[in-house]
Amino acid sequence: MRKYRLDDKACKILCLAGKGYTQVQISKELGMTESAVSQRTDSLQKYKYLRKQKSGFIITFALEPLGVKIVSEIARRGINSLIDESNSETYSKLERIHNIEFKWSILKRKSTKDYLMILKREKIDYMESGLNNHHDPIFRYKTYTAIISGISLILRCQERIGSCLETPKLICDIFDEANAIALEIEDMFGIKLLRKDKDTIYADCIKLEIALLDNPLAKAINNR
């Protein structure tokens, strides 16, 4: 997907949307037709800056993580500096999100023997960690590496690459996808993961690193 170029109108719409303005109020505030505002918000929604919320005939908006980042930067540095940066090569720099691990505590547990029997039944290849007299199974589940013990489930995620602006959304996407995978593993093993509430499992992000690609300083260090 090509990068969305922010301009003065787009930035102002994000700021007003973040304050709870309706589509009609944004139109009046900026002196734009409702049709023009609708076209702008459709684009901002397409590129994951905001999402529409309807209550009857009233349309309001909620900022996505990417939109929150933009509004925060506008508050800190002003609209003009952000627009200049958005339309420069700097803003299209790529970042690599890597070394990502999530951990869930297990409340209802099974023995290592039970885990191994289930992995064999599901025809999933595995190896045993063998650390500190433990034999916790390590296995691949879809695109994830999973480690399951008597007290926790750990998932190692694949790295992701995106523009600097996409990083917040990518992290949210990784988190949501990892939670979905954890629920599948919970069901497969018949375990019970710790929950925030009835419908939400509780995960700790125990590792996450972000690196700027093609950074001259990083290249100089890595090539020593």
Kindly state the tokens that stand for 30: 């900026």
H-helix or E-strand containing 206? strand 203-212
- 47 assigned to some structural domain: yes
- 103 assigned to some structural domain: yes
* Per-residue model confidence as pLDDT tens digits over 186-206: 999 999 999 988 888 988 999
- 139 assigned to some structural domain: yes
* Structural domain that includes position 21: 8-91
Kindly state the tokens that stand for 110: 């099974």
161 and 86: one domain? no
Torsions phi, psi for 102 (to 5 deg): -120, 150
- 216 assigned to some structural domain: yes
Cβ contacts of residue 125 below 8 Å, gap of 6+? 139, 140
- 12 assigned to some structural domain: yes
70 and 174: one domain? no
* Per-residue model confidence as pLDDT tens digits over 88-114: 544 456 778 888 999 999 998 888 899
pLDDT at 3: 63
214 and 109: one domain? yes
100 and 181: one domain? yes
How far is Cα 61 from Cα 70, in angstroms, rounded to an integer? 15
The DSSP output letter for 48 is T
The model carries a pTM of 0.57
- 52 assigned to some structural domain: yes
Weakest mean pLDDT among 2-6, 21-25, 73-77, 81-85: 81-85
How far is Cα 160 from Cα 144, in angstroms, rounded to an integer? 13
- 43 assigned to some structural domain: yes
Q: 58, 91, 124 — which closes off a domain? A: 91
Weakest mean pLDDT among 69-78, 88-97, 112-121, 128-137: 88-97
105 and 129: one domain? yes
Q: 72, 91, 110 — which closes off a domain? A: 91
Query: Which domain CATH number covers 34?
Result: 1.10.10.10
